[in-house]
Structure 1
């Protein structure tokens, strides 16, 4: 909901109530006093129309969800303003001779209609405010859900980075193990070759000793 719109709305409601009181007062007057009061009311009507135009511009600049509710309010306020204008027209056209009749019948009816209209306006405003509160609550829940989703994505990103780091570390360990395996294989081959060489040398020595003993014993 727009705070700017709320400010205009409060001003209009106060002005509307004031104009209704002035209409009631003007219907009881006559002559110059009545003309002066009607002039004041018309000036107030101009101010009320200016406020409605400002509310209309502010409402149309908002998002569709809030815009629809505010425009519904505006329709009620425009209807209320038209009723006040009709009251002013009746007051302006009513002659002094018909004043008593207006006081006995028409004035009471007009006040009742105006009161009923304002009552409907208040009820509509209350319903719209409740709808606005529900929208605000839904928007707050949506923002909390969005923040939770962002937090989960950040956690997953951090876990992915950790897994990549672990993978790189394991890959390095595999490289070291591969190199160590090659070194051990080479050492094992050298040891096997050395064993064959030592065995051959020992065999040659044994063979030489046997030949020496044979020749000595044969003499």
Structure 2
């Protein structure tokens, strides 16, 4: 439902109800008062017709699924406007007979006004229901926006947690690299220690042999 169309619709219903009351009043007037009231009705009809054109343009600019329902309503408003124009024409061409104002109100013109008033009442009820539907749509939209904000907040939290996990993962990789380096250093040190053991063992053996040679020459020669 277009909020622009809804605004035009409310204005039209208000003008239509006002014109209906003015037609009823004008039918019972004479002379200059009646002429003034007829001019007011003509001005109101121009405004109502302008609103009909605006609603038509707005309805045709919407999606087909929405457009069909609005154009159907618009046909009712156009019919209502034609009834008001017919009523104005009747009031303008037929003057009240002296002392017979009440008879005019009870004549066939009254029936036409009653039918038009009934149609406007239905239009007003439809507008009221549309207003309630619009309120529900706005409430649903507000709930949807709140849900969307909550979803965005959750996504932001998940993103922060993902960044934390990636940072921890990178730290673990760094620890693994350090452990690997430590293992390589320890392996190199172990190799050096083994090498040093063999060197020291060789030196000890050489010293023992040298001592034995010295003792041999000392005691036997």
Smaller-chain TM-score bracket: 0.7 to 0.9
Deviates more, 1:102-111 or 1:31-40: 31-40
- 1:19-38 counterparts in 2 under 5 A? 19-30=19-30, 33-38=33-38
Counterpart residue number, 2:112: 110
For normalisation by structure 2, the TM-score amounts to 0.79
For normalisation by structure 1, the TM-score amounts to 0.79
Alpha-carbon distance change, 100 to 154 in structure 1, aligned in 2, over 3 angstroms: closer
Alpha-carbon distance change, 139 to 71 in structure 1, aligned in 2, over 3 angstroms: farther
Deviation at 1:35, TM superposition (A): 4.4
CA contact (8 A) 1:30 1:96 kept: yes
Distance 2:36 2:152 in 1: 65
Distance 1:100 1:201 in 2: 144
CA contact (8 A) 1:5 1:59 kept: yes
Structure 2 residue matching 1:29: 3-state secondary structure: coil
Alpha-carbon distance change, 34 to 110 in structure 1, aligned in 2, over 3 angstroms: same
Distance 1:17 1:29 in 2: 19
Deviates more, 1:195-204 or 1:65-74: 65-74
- 1:74-113 counterparts in 2 under 5 A? 74-94=74-94, 96=96, 102-113=104-115
Distance 1:76 1:92 in 2: 24
Deviation at 1:3, TM superposition (A): 5.8
Residue 54 in 1 paired to residue 27 in 2?
no
Deviation at 1:180, TM superposition (A): 1.9
Structure 2 residue matching 1:81: 3-state secondary structure: helix
CA contact (8 A) 2:56 2:71 kept: yes
Counterpart residue number, 1:124: 126
Aligned length: 219
- 1:1-219 counterparts in 2 under 5 A? 5=5, 7-30=7-30, 33-61=33-61, 71=71, 73-94=73-94, 96=96, 102-218=104-220
Deviation at 1:32, TM superposition (A): 5.5
Deviation at 1:187, TM superposition (A): 1.1
Deviation at 1:96, TM superposition (A): 4.7
Deviation at 1:53, TM superposition (A): 2.1
CA RMSD of aligned residues (A): 3.2
Higher RCO structure, 1 or 2 (CA under 8 Å, sep 6+): 2
